[in-house]
Each structure stands twice: as structure tokens, then as C-alpha cells.
Chains A and B, each alone.
Chain A
Amino acid sequence: MSSGINKEAIGEFLAGVKDGLPLQLAVFPFGIVFGMVGLDAGLTPLQTFFMSSILFGGASQIVFTQLYATGTPFTILVTTVSAVNLRHLLYGFVMSEYLRHLPLNWRIVLGYLLTDEAFAISYLRFTQQHSSDTMHHHLLGSGLILWSCWQTSTVIGIIAGPTIPDSFQLEFAVPLTFIAVVIPSLTHFPKIFASLSSGCAALIFQFLPFNLWLIIAAFCGIIAGTASSYLINEGDKKTEEKQ
């Protein structure tokens, strides 16, 4: 009986790894860029390396390097970097339905591994499958494959970074990486509006001290996106009522 459950658990774990593999094509270059810009920003190789396991959030780590390089005060740096990861609250609440009953050590490990990619992959599995006692192993698998690739690609970036001359303008890889993440997500008007609003606000508020423009621009984008979603939904309701 228990070996049957073990077999099922290993099967779920491997399914998580397998489902996660295609996404690593996007994770790898991202990690390499982070390793390179980490050193470029003046972090030591050790700091760059350990940030990938302590923070374990791609975009937030790059934001860290950018703010660090421009001498942002401690509190603003920590707040802005953590704000970038606030979206994970959402994943946690969505996943909690499936994970709340687990023992504490499982919840600590799965919470730590709950990134955008792992969430996307395993949430799909959780919703498509009948719930089982071993389904959380899928998240362990998708989380661990991502974790391993993130650490490996960070190391590659740290090693390769210093060999690339300044004339290659590698710092430009940061906005390019983010373009690759943002553009495919602009699927409906509120997202596009949020993106444009935050981008414009980032230019307008450049004069503010301590890189405060970043968090203010982000808020402008969030407000623009949320408000326009509400307005569009209201409009939809009204046309429905008329029909």
C-alpha cells in the first residue's frame, strides 16, 4: 500500500519536472543575464550567487542589482525589491486550497519554490486532475527543476560575465529580458494601459531622489490597470443590461 503511494508520488514528481522543462529555455538566458549584471553592478560573485537562492525571484534580483548600482538607500532598496515579489501572495492564496493541509515542512519547501513558472505549471495540473494525496509532489518537481536551472544559469553568468568586453553593452540585456517577459503578457487593454502608464511615469518621475521613481511608476501602472479593468467590466455589464 505505502509503496504504491510512493510510486505515485515519484510519478507526480517526475511529471512536474517534465512539465517544467520547456520553460527552462526562458529561464536560462534570464539567469545568465542576472549573473552578468550582478557583477557589473558591483556585487561580489558570492553575493550574486547566493542572491539566486536567498531571493529566488528573477525580476526582483535584477531590480536589486539596478538599485544597488545607483546607490539606493537600504530601506528603499529592500522595499522595492520585495514589492516586485508581492504578486506571489496571489499564487499562495490560489494554491492554498491544495496545500494548506500539508505538514509545516512541506509548506515551507513548497512556499519557497512557489515562483511564477512553478505556479503556472503545477496549477494547471492541480485544476485538470482529480485531487490526490500525492499531487503536491508535482509542484516539488516543477519547483526544483526551475531552482536548479536558475542556480546553474546564475553561475554561468558569473563566470562568463567578466570575459565580455564593455563595448558589448551587456547592461542593455536587462530591458531586453524584460521586454521578452512583458510583451507576450500584453493580451488585453488594461495590461497594455498599465504598461504604458508605468513606463511614462518612470520617465516623468526620474528627478525624484533615491530611485523612488521606480516604486511610484509601478503604482501608477497598477492603478491604471486596475481602474481600467473595473471601467471595462462596468461597461460590459451595462451593454448586457441593455440587451
Chain B
Amino acid sequence: MIVWLAIVCAGMLTFATRFLPLSPLMPKSLPDWLQLAMKFVPVSVLSAIIVPAIFISPETKTIVIQDNLRIVAAMVAIIVAYYTRSTITTIISGLSVIWLLTLWQ
């Protein structure tokens, strides 16, 4: 039940951020500094998820660098993303690297 409530609440807040600026009652624009700051929201949130997902071990919950296959797979994915700009190629290349390395071990 609480999950549904969370989905609906987050959904309503999200809809409000998309809909309210289209209302004639709202000011026509945001202050410059806020417009600038908002451009950094996606890159910041996503990076904050990417980095721990690579470095933090799901088992020990600590930062693991040695023998961490996810670092290698992520580096391959970053290079692939940079050159191909393709979501599917990036996901498949990263997953293939981690599967191959796991088999290798």
C-alpha cells in the first residue's frame, strides 16, 4: 500500500513540475542561476548512482578496487558510450564484459 502511495505522490510532484510552468499564473521564467543549476540535475543524479554501483561491493558494502570486475566493464562501457552514443550497444558491451570476466575467473 505504502508503495502505491509513494508512486502516486512522486507522480503528482513530477506532473506538477511539468504542468505548472505551462500555467498563465506562473511567472514567465526562472532566475538565471536556477536555470543554470537545473541543467546539472540529470548529470549529477545519474553520476551519483553510477559511481557507487561500480565501486561499492554489494556483499560487503565497502569500496572495492582490487579484483573489481565492474570497474573494467564500466570503463569499456564508457568508451563505447563515448564513441557510439548508443544506449543498447553500451548496455550490451558492459554486460558482455562482466559475463566474460566472471566466466574467466
Contact = CB atoms under 8 A, between A and B. Distances in A.
Given A89-B21, A95-B21, A174-B49, A190 B40 contact: yes
Interface in B20-78: 20-24, 26, 28-30, 33, 35-56, 58, 61, 63, 70, 73-74, 77-78
A202 B28 CA distance: 35
Interface in B78-102: 78, 81-82, 85-88, 90-91, 94-95, 98-99, 102
Nearest to B81: A183
A194 B40 contact: yes
Dominant secondary structure of chain A at its interface with chain B: helix
Contacts of A57: 14
Nearest to B30: A93
A206 B60 CA distance: 13
Nearest to A194: B40
Interface residues of B, number: 69
B47 to A, nearest CB: 4
A175 B7 contact: no
A54 B15 CA distance: 9
Contact of A191 (B21, B40, B73): B40
A19 to B, nearest CB: 18
Contacts of B9: 78
Contacts of B82: 183-184
Given A47-B3, A89-B30, A107-B19, 4 more contacts: A54-B7, A59-B45, A86-B38, A218-B41
